[in-house]
């Protein structure tokens, strides 16, 4: 075997090898198109996010719920619907109705009357419905 024959043989072996490697990697893409690692990770992340989602409620929206039949209050940035409990307040309905639809005013009234610890009862007497926030572009 002369030098030229050896060179051609080596070239053919390398070319065939490269062709086989290329074919097997492109086949993988076609035979397994759905569950790439990247897609699985994206799916897990979106599950986590949906668990922590809380609607944003503006001061204006909160203020609309200011009666005994529709009473929302906000404490430390959390908004609760306490409509079903307003008539059961041991201190009377009127005390609560005066602060339905309020955030700062409700906090001050609750803290002054009962102390801050009483706020821990809010998730029990009411239903958490969202987070108080400024909504960009909202008209005041």
Name the residues that contact ligand HEM, by CB under 6 A: 82, 89-91, 95-96, 99, 106, 109-110, 113-114, 118, 121-122, 125
Q: How far is the CB of 68 from ligand HEM (least distance, A)?
A: 14
Which residue's CB atom is positioned nearest to ligand HEM? Answer: 91
Do the Cβ atoms of 71 and 81 come closer than 8 Å?
yes
Q: How far is the CB of 90 from ligand HEM (least distance, A)?
A: 3
Q: Which is nearer to ligand HEM, 110 or 132 (CB)?
A: 110
CA 119 – CA 10 distance, rounded (Å): 81
CA 58 – CA 119 distance, rounded (Å): 21
Name which of 134, 126, 131, 136 is nearest 76 in CA terms.
131
Count of other CB atoms within 10 angstroms of residue 131:
13
Q: How far is the CB of 119 from ligand HEM (least distance, A)?
A: 7
Q: Which is nearer to ligand HEM, 43 or 69 (CB)?
A: 69
Name which of 70, 77, 92, 63 is nearest 122 in CA terms.
77
Q: How far is the CB of 104 from ligand HEM (least distance, A)?
A: 12
Q: Which is nearer to ligand HEM, 25 or 120 (CB)?
A: 120
């Amino acid at each position: 075997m002369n030098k030229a024959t050896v060179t051609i043989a080596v070239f053919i072996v390398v070319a065939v090898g490269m062709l086989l490697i290329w074919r097997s990697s492109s086949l993988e893409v076609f035979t397994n198109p759905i569950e790439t690692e990247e897609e699985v990770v994206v799916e897990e992340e979106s599950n986590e996010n949906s668990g922590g989602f809380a609607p944003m409620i503006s001061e204006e929206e909160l203020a609309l719920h200011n009666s005994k039949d529709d009473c929302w209050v906000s404490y430390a940035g959390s908004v609760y619907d306490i409509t079903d409990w307003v008539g059961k307040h041991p201190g009377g309905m009127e005390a609560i109705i005066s602060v339905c639809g309020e955030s700062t005013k409700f906090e001050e009234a609750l803290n002054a009357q009962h102390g801050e610890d009483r706020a821990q009862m809010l998730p029990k007497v009411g239903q958490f419905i969202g987070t108080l926030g400024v909504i960009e572009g909202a008209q005041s």
